[in-house]
Structure 1
Amino acid sequence: MTSEFRKGDKVRWNSHGGQGEGEVLRKITSDTEAGGRTVRASEQEPQYLVRSDKSGGEAVHKPDALEKM
């Protein structure tokens, strides 16, 4: 079972440069453009738009890639 996250949750994830930390901006449950790419998502397989505390950049991650802080 994957975790559920809400807007404002503080999370961390593994990135190319180590570990990233930031905040969940929104849950994505349909195909859309976000974080600079096309996101394939559904109610059964959501993804999350997050903002990095370090860079301020936005990215999209699957729930199993995120960990609540």
Structure 2
Amino acid sequence: MQTIQVTAADVSLYHVAATRLNDASQWWRIAQLNGVTDPDLTWLPSPVPLQIPSVDPTLNSGVPGLTS
């Protein structure tokens, strides 16, 4: 796990997850770890720390328990 600084320029947890976890659909992992419910980051007034979970290669389909 690592901690990064995010700002409104990061736009959303989808973008952060795509960049850091290589899977935008895993935004919920970042949200859950940080107690966030809304993936939108455009409201942030200044940089805030955000914990990023480690990449989990077993989660290759986004949300667990959800199949297409």
In the superposition, the TM-score normalised over structure 1's length comes to: 0.26
Name the TM-score, length of structure 2 as normaliser.
Answer: 0.26
Larger radius of gyration between Structure 1 and Structure 2: 2
Instruction: Compare the two structures and name the one with the higher helix fraction.
Output: 2
Higher relative contact order (CA 8 A, sep 6+): 2
Higher strand share: 1
